[in-house]
Amino acid sequence: MITHGNEIKLFSGNSNPELAKAIAKKLNTELGDVEVCKFSDGEINVHLAETVRGRDLFIIQSTCAPVNDHLMELLIMIDAAKRASAGRITAVIPYFGYARQDRKARSRDPITAKLVANLITAAGADRVLTMDLHAEQIQGFFDIPVDNLLGGPTLYNYFAKQNNIDVVVAPDLGSVKRSRKVAEKFGVPLAIIDKRRPKANVMEVMSIIGDVKGKRCLMIDDMIDTAGTICQGAAAIKEAGATEVYAGCTHAVLSGPAIERLQNSAIDKLVMLDTIHLPEEKKIDKFEVLTVSDIFAAAIENVYLDKPMSKLYD
């Protein structure tokens, strides 16, 4: 527990102030006083309303929708802190936007995740704390330390208490590694949905590898965006004889038709983490939100006290 709060400062942008407040509460401190607003032409203005000179600064900001606004808020807050002579600046980014653009899928495509990494570094961040990067290799896009925290254990602990999982299902080949770890923890088999995606946000289920008939199934993914993958996957395993279908994700992006799709899907319950704030108008009975404030609070404390982070990954 942090007791010498005169040397540490936590600031929050506008993306997820609820999570930032919860993290501060876990650390027995309060969020710093900052004004983040817009000029009439849409330009973002930031003013740190208290001294940060020589302090260990943590700026908490998910780069979720509106992605560009929240990213610019983060960059400008880092710049303001750097110019105010902050001692060390850690960008705490529970959800790292643009992470899906991590490679050139076609000729003349950008690698936007690398560009964002460069921007954060150039703005003046000394370290990044994030969770469940869509592609782990994004850590290597930074020339500063990056701690990629794990949301999986929080989801696992929730479902382990329910004691209602017979099979873990990977919704696509990209999530096999993550799903296998969960299946090993539960001590249950792994099934895989083999799919094809003809274009972005459009998914076609091809086949199911593994036995789901008469089973209670859990699908785990790092994020749910338009919910096409998870909903079509749930329909496929239900058609294959699954009795119950549960889903869990770290980042509930939930854009476009996601809410309607999930409401009408074969998923009995979707458990998500609060790396992205879920507004009231998006809440439905199938959803349950778990907090990651304790994990980020522990990580911030370890960074601040220069303690090892390895225990957070065990």
pLDDT value, residue 5: 44
- In whole angstroms, give the CA distance from residue 73 to residue 31: 16
SS3 110: coil
pTM of structure: 0.93
pLDDT at position 202, please?
63
Chain centroid to Cα 293, Å, comes to 12
pLDDT for position 3: 47
CB 99 within 8 A of CB 250: no
CA 53 to the chain's CA centroid: 30
Q: What is the pLDDT of residues 242-258, one digit of tens each?
A: 999 999 999 999 999 99
Which is catalytic among the residues 9, 195, 215, 238? 195
Q: Which residue positions in the chain have pLDDT lower than 70? A: 1-6, 196-206, 314
Residue 195 annotated in active site:
yes
DSSP characters over 171-240 = SSGGGHHHHHHHHHHHT--EEEEEEEEEETTEEEEEEEES--TT-EEEEEEEEESSSHHHHHHHHHHHHT
Query: Which domains does the chain carry?
Result: 5-150+293-313 (3.40.50.2020), 152-290 (3.40.50.2020)
**CA–centroid distance for 54 within its chain:** 30
20 and 297 Cβ atoms separated by less than 8 Å = no
pLDDT of amino acid 173: 82
